[in-house]
């Protein structure tokens, strides 16, 4: 299989969220996804369920020979290995990893929809994504142009990270 480019969104709001995200990216690399770009960490207000701690969100560009479903399986296994439980929809979590897009592939399956159907409406996804892939087309528009349309209230860059590729 040829190498594909995928984009992931990672978020956490329990424990040391930044350290958990960094560890998740290391485990994704160990499982077959090479991290080639990683956004800064962004502090973001909770979404969906508001009575919980703020999140740290990151996006990463991945090169992989895994299929889209193989990458999804790796992401889900990484979540479980880092203590993720799915007890409450939109509730607090140690880690959440979403596959945003996988090359130009589309999918509409129960477990995987590509491209991610709500990424264009969520600043906590789109702002970090635009940092690493400003020209990426999301719903026919460049990701950097789409960010101007979103409410970014409470979203704060925590600063650039050197790299998880150290």
Three-class secondary structure of residue 156 per DSSP: strand
Q: Which of 73, 96, 111, 122 is catalytic?
A: 96
**Would you state the pLDDT for residue 165?**
36
Is residue 53 a part of any domain in this protein? yes
Is residue 122 a part of any domain in this protein? yes
Q: Which of 27, 38, 41, 84 is catalytic?
A: 84
Q: What angle do CA 81, 163, 34 make, to 5 degrees?
A: 60
Indicate the pLDDT class of residue 162, thresholds 50, 70 and 90. Answer: very low
CA-based nearest residue to 70, from 95, 102, 116: 102
Total domains in the fold of the chain = 1
Indicate if 96 belongs to the active site: yes
Is residue 163 a part of any domain in this protein? no
Task: Indicate which CATH number applies to the domain containing 139.
Answer: 3.30.70.560
Is residue 165 a part of any domain in this protein? no
Indicate the pLDDT class of residue 161, thresholds 50, 70 and 90. Answer: low
Is residue 166 a part of any domain in this protein? no
CA 11/CA 21 separation, integer angstroms: 7
Indicate if 93 belongs to the active site: yes
CA 13/CA 118 separation, integer angstroms: 20
Is 163's pLDDT higher than 60? no
Is residue 33 a part of any domain in this protein? yes
Indicate if 38 belongs to the active site: no
The alpha carbon of residue 2 and the mean position of all alpha carbons in its chain are separated, in whole angstroms, by 23
Is residue 164 a part of any domain in this protein? no
Do 138 and 119 contact (CB within 8 A), yes or no?
A: yes
Q: Which of 27, 38, 41, 98 is catalytic?
A: 98
Indicate if 84 belongs to the active site: yes
Task: Tally the C-alpha atoms within 13 A of residue 57's C-alpha that lie toward its C-beta.
Answer: 26
CA 143/CA 17 separation, integer angstroms: 25
Is residue 64 a part of any domain in this protein? yes
Q: CB neighbours of 9 closer than 8 A, spacing ≥ 6?
A: 57, 58, 59, 96, 97, 98, 100, 116, 119, 125, 128, 129
Do 56 and 11 contact (CB within 8 A), yes or no?
A: yes
The DSSP letter of residue 117 is T
Q: What is the domain range of residue 102?
A: 4-157
Read off the tokens for 108.
């509409």
**Residue whose token pair is 């990683």:** 38
**Would you state the pLDDT for residue 160?**
64
Which pTM value belongs to this model?
Answer: 0.92
The DSSP letter of residue 46 is -
How confident is the model over 90-140, as pLDDT tens digits? 668 889 999 999 999 999 999 999 999 999 999 999 999 999 999 999 999
Is 141's pLDDT higher than 90? yes
**Would you state the pLDDT for residue 46?**
87
How confident is the model over 39-48, as pLDDT tens digits? 999 999 987 7
Q: Which of 27, 38, 41, 93 is catalytic?
A: 93
């Amino acid at each position: 299989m040829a190498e594909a480019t995928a984009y992931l969104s990672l978020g956490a709001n329990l424990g040391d969220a930044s350290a958990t995200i960094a560890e998740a990216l290391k485990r994704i690399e160990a499982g077959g996804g090479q991290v080639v770009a990683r956004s800064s960490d962004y502090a973001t207000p909770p979404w969906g369920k508001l009575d919980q701690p703020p999140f740290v969100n990151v996006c990463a560009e991945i090169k992989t020979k895994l299929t889209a479903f193989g990458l999804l399986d790796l992401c889900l296994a990484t979540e479980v290995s880092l203590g993720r439980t799915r007890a409450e929809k939109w509730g607090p979590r140690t880690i959440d990893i979403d596959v945003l897009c996988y090359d130009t592939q589309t999918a509409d399956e129960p477990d995987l929809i590509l491209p991610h159907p709500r990424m264009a409406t969520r600043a906590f996804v789109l702002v970090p994504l635009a940092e690493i892939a400003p020209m990426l087309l999301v719903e026919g528009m460049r990701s950097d142009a789409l960010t101007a349309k979103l409410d970014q209230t409470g979203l704060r860059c925590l600063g650039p990270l050197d790299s998880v590729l150290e």
